[in-house]
A and B are shown apart, each in its own frame.
Chain A
């Protein structure tokens, strides 16, 4: 069984600033993956970044990076140089087994011009 907890229902950031979204998870899988997905209003879910649990190095994708703390089961997302287009719901997720993805409840990110 897997659970994902996002404790920040809403966050805001000034344009060009940096923001960190928190996520903790629990899983019984020994081999699993972690993802951050972005869902803009009325638009489809898009993968932002992914992390293989067996890799110690934190994943980065341009302005997006993660802080993966395996022992603490923590997987936070850092967005640098925030842009207006970053405004969206962000979902932390984990997968294992048949690749069923378990999502958190999401964090709504507002970017202030």
Chain B
């Protein structure tokens, strides 16, 4: 069990550019989650996958955001035409199944928009 892995750890980009983050969950976990965390706040839910199906999306996830989990394993989160307000820590988590199973978090990707 190598834990949840996220890449890159840090991303600095200019406003208007596109960015893509990757998350590799714990191998036997079928559920995968993306959260956004800004300074001084708790993580906010963005979206959730069960296997390859995206089952829920937050209203926070504007049309500039898209997430995929094509083979039910790793996931990508893409932000198009980045804005200053997108600067945040993007956290990925995975879990094995029902609601009583805890989510295991990755280290996160910190995005800074210049």
Contact = CB atoms under 8 A, between A and B. Distances in A.
Contacts, number: 61
Nearest to B104: A47
Given A44-B105, A98-B55, A106 B42 contact: yes
B51 interface: no
B100 A33 contact: yes
Interface of B: 4, 31, 33, 35, 40-45, 48, 50, 55-56, 91, 93, 95, 98-100, 102-108
Q: Is the interface of A mostly helix, strand, loop or mixed?
A: strand
Given A45-B91, A102-B45, A96 B107 contact: no
Contact of A35 (B4, B48, B91, B102): B102
A102 B99 CA distance: 13
A100 B105 contact: no
Contacts of A56: none
16 contacts: A33-B99, A33-B100, A35-B102, A45-B105, A50-B100, A50-B102, A91-B42, A98-B50, A98-B56, A99-B98, A100-B48, A101-B33, A101-B45, A102-B45, A103-B42, A106-B41
Nearest to A47: B102
Interface of A: 4, 31-33, 35, 37, 43-47, 50, 52, 91, 93, 95-106
A35 B50 CA distance: 21
Nearest to A99: B99
A95 B99 contact: yes
Contacts of B103: 47, 99, 101
Contacts of A44: 4, 105-108
Given A47-B102, A98-B56, A105 B48 contact: no
